[in-house]
A and B are shown apart, each in its own frame.
Chain A
Amino acid sequence: MLQTAVMHSTGAAIRIGGRCVSYAELACRTRSYAAAFAAEDVPRVLIALPRGAEAYAAMFGAGLAGGCYTPVSDASPPHKLRRIADLLAPNIIVAGNPLAAMLAKASSSTRIIDPADLAPGMRLAEPKPRHATAYITFTSGSTGEPKGVVVPRTALNHYVHWIRQSGTVLPGDVVSQFNNLAFDVSVLDIYGALCTGATLVPLGGRGDRLMPARAIAREGITVWTSVPSAIDLMRTAGQLTRANLGRVRLFTLAGEPLLRTHLDAIFAACPDAAIQNAYGPTEATVTVSQMRLRADRYDHACLGRAVSIGPAIPGMRLHLAGGAHADEGEIVISGPQLASGYLNDPARTAAAFRPIEADGQTVRGYYTGDWGERHRGLIFCRGRIDAQVKIRGHRIEPDEVAGAIRSLDWPNVCVFKHDGLLAALVECQPGQTLDADALRLALGRMLDAYAIPSRIASVAALPRNENDKIDTARAARLLQEMPQ
């Protein structure tokens, strides 16, 4: 970033609410953070700031000071932030009040830096040698307990090199920063824009998050990156239009399955744009494969509703392991972007990062837990293996079954494995009654017989997590407690 800052010093690095922060100003702020962090031998910095120049400068500053950082969402519930602070044991926390005070109470020996108090114009005499770890991102495991994924600097450098070489971000682009900082797809936004000379536009306000298409129009975004459900929000609002999205040249969609209906809707509004389906777990540094699509050529990349995750990016490899034949199996990733493992958790690390044989060589692999199938030479991700149900040898993807139920005017539904069989929990509004047999009959016209849930029950409200997503684990527990 500092090299970019020299080349683009007067250019706008960040634009927020119409106000610009130049590359020179960002570099200056980065050096101030580095100087403040360098008091620690190895700074381990927890960053709990909203999207914006202070958060990005603190990230780059941690590297410059020979340390590593962990970004958390300032919107996370306090108990989750405290749990992450306990697990990470940071020696520095960067946060504004009241969050800073709350986190300080939890760990008294930790130094708290409030951006408002950070003196400008400080700088390190010379940058310290870079730490082997760039950042540690906490993801929620299936148990809900956060686990820290330790991402080496070499892995991050490999990824940033791909962002630049692939043209995902070009100098002069206006790049969205929609993704939550605790969600590692934000690495693509931040490093993509700020190591390229583009302008990054943080979109953290509730209004912009509800109506992203309007934010795109207002800010003149040219490179958009988000989960596909942000596209669903634009469609719900009737805002996925050429007038709003006409300046976007590339949509990168990651973090959730991209569906053909997303492609149809985006290309109808933006026939000249490209869409990139990017796939990857946090454990392999953001994304490791990409399928680049154009309006006149995307049919080949679709299989029913699914869109291929595409080939691995240069330097990385995708393998399919443990299937009945070579064209199916668990997706295993190898290459320089693999994380070093989980923080303080050698058992979990050993279970997920294991050797894999490839072309007579043994390499270190990350076993994703995702099921992949190769059709016409393209890999399709068929969902989580632990969520899949296998009945009479048929592999069933619960998300596809949920999609069929949603299309029958039950918009909120959760499908999961329950006692070895497929179960569906359907949200039923007061005054509505769910006729399970009628629903089964209707599903019979859309799905194979083996994909029709054995158990269908209704609830007044499905359990949801802090991001409004239906919480499958809690839904399963709810069903467990219901009479048969």
Chain B
Amino acid sequence: MTPPADAVYATLAAIFRRVFGREPGALDAGATSQTIAGWDSFRYVEIIVELETTYGIELDGPEIDEVHTVGDLVALVLAKTGARASG
């Protein structure tokens, strides 16, 4: 079953806290690596790997290319988990 967006945001917030070791700041749909201090390549990779492990999905390179905001990332997770559930 596809998790509702709110649940993905909550999971993502927990992942950000773990990866950053602190509250990362406002994690709304419009948040980007420009609005969240310290969101560098290394942390981004850790976030992706944690999302993959949590949801049992794989986010490939070309899919990540389309992610510009936290909202995009949540939408991608929803799409991938939905695809897995129906596929």
> Is B37 among interface residues, defined by CB-CB distance under 8 A?
yes
List A residues 202-230 near B (Cβ within 8 Å).
203, 205-211, 214-215, 218
**CA of A218 to CA of B61, assembled, Å:** 10
Decide if A346 is an interface residue (CB 8 Å cutoff): no
Question: Do A430 and B45 touch (CB < 8 A)?
Answer: no
Partner of A207, one of B20, B49, B64: B64
Is the CB of A461 closer than 8 A to any CB of chain B? Answer: yes
Q: Which residues of A contact B48 (CB under 8 A)?
A: 210-211, 237
Is B41 engaged at the interface, CB distance under 8 Å to the other chain? yes
Tell me, in angstroms, the Cα distance from A74 to B70 when the chains sit together.
Answer: 24
B87 CB contacts on chain A under 8 angstroms: none
Within 8 A of A (CB), among B36-74: 37-38, 40-42, 44-46, 48-49, 59-65, 67
A73 to chain B, nearest CB (A): 16
Q: Are B23 and A430 in contact (CB under 8 A)?
A: yes
Residue among A207, A432, A461 with max Cβ neighbours from chain B (10 Å): A207
Does A205 contact B21, Cβ atoms closer than 8 Å? no
Least Cβ distance of B25 to chain A in Å? 10
The answer to whether A210 and B45 touch across the interface, beta carbons within 8 angstroms, is yes
Tell me which residues across on chain A come within 8 A of B45, comparing CB atoms.
Answer: 210-211, 233, 236-237
B71 shortest CB reach to chain A, Å: 16
Residues of B within 8 A of A232 (CB): 42
Could you tell me if A460 and B64 are in contact, using CB atoms closer than 8 angstroms? Answer: no
A438 to B46, CA, bound (A): 29
Q: Mark B14-32, 1 if CB is under 8 A from A, else 0.
A: 0000001111000000000
* Bound Cα distance A310, B6 (Å): 55
Assess whether A461 is in contact with B21, with CB atoms less than 8 Å apart. Answer: no
Distance, CA A208 to CA B63, complexed state (A): 10
CB-nearest residue of chain B to A411: B42
Q: Considering residues B42, B48, B49, B59, which has the most beta carbons from chain A within 10 angstroms of its beta carbon?
A: B42
Complex CA–CA separation, A431 to B64 (angstroms): 32
CA distance A412 to B64 in the complex (A): 25
CA A203 – CA B60 in complex, angstroms? 13
Query: Cβ of A238 < 8 Å from any Cβ of B?
Result: yes
> Which of A205, A236, A412 lies in contact with B61, CB distance below 8 A?
A205
**Is B42 a contact partner of A207 (Cβ separation < 8 A)?**
no
Pick from B23, B42, B61, B63: contact of A233, CB below 8 A. B42
Q: What are the residues of chain B within 8 A of A430 when measuring CB–CB?
A: 22-23
Of the candidates B38, B42, B59, the one whose C-beta lies within 8 Å of that of A236 is: B42
B62, A207: Cβ atoms closer than 8 Å: yes
Interface assignment of A360: CB less than 8 Å from any CB of chain B: no
Determine the distance from Cα of A430 to Cα of B23 in the docked complex, in whole angstroms.
8
Given known pairs A205-B64, A208-B61, the reply for A468 and B37 (CB within 8 Å) is: no
With contacts A232-B42, A468-B40, A468-B41 taken as known, whether A207 is within 8 angstroms of B63 at the C-beta atoms is: yes
Taking CB atoms, residues of chain A closer than 8 Å to B46 are 236-237
| A431 lies within 8 A of B61 (CB) | no
Contacts of B23 in A (CB 8 A): 430
Which residues in window 155-210 of A have CB below 8 A to B? Answer: 203, 205-210
Q: Chain B residues near A233 (CB, 8 Å)?
A: 41-42, 45
- Tell me the chain A residues, 419-438 only, with Cβ under 8 Å from chain B: 427, 429-432
Chain B contacts of A238 at CB under 8 A? 49
**Residue in B20, B40, B59, B63 whose CB lies within 8 Å of A429:** B20
Whole-angstrom distance between the Cβ of A463 and the nearest chain B Cβ: 11
Cβ-defined contact, A210 with B41, below 8 A: yes
Do B37 and A211 touch across chains, with their CB atoms under 8 A apart? no
For the complex, give the distance between the alpha carbons of A207 and B46 in Å. 13
The answer on a CB contact under 8 Å between A17 and B62 is: yes
A274 and B23 alpha carbons, distance in the complex (Å)? 43
A432–B23 alpha-carbon span in the complex (Å): 12
**Residue with the highest number of chain B CB atoms closer than 10 Å, among A17, A210, A237, A464:** A210
A7 to B31, CA, bound (A): 51
In whole angstroms, what is the CA distance A430 to B65 when docked? 31
**What is the bound-complex CA distance between A412 and B67, given in angstroms?**
26
Contacts of B37 in A (CB 8 A): 460-461
- List 24 A-B pairs, Cβ < 8 Å: A203-B61, A205-B65, A206-B61, A206-B65, A206-B67, A207-B62, A207-B64, A207-B65, A208-B62, A208-B65, A210-B64, A215-B61, A232-B42, A233-B41, A233-B42, A236-B42, A237-B45, A429-B20, A429-B22, A460-B37, A461-B37, A464-B40, A468-B40, A468-B41
By Cβ-Cβ distance, the 9 closest A-B pairs, closest first, are A207-B64, A207-B61, A208-B61, A205-B65, A429-B22, A468-B40, A237-B45, A461-B37, A207-B65
List 8 extra interface pairs beyond A214-B60, A233-B41, CB under 8 A. A207-B60, A210-B45, A210-B64, A211-B45, A233-B42, A236-B42, A429-B21, A461-B38
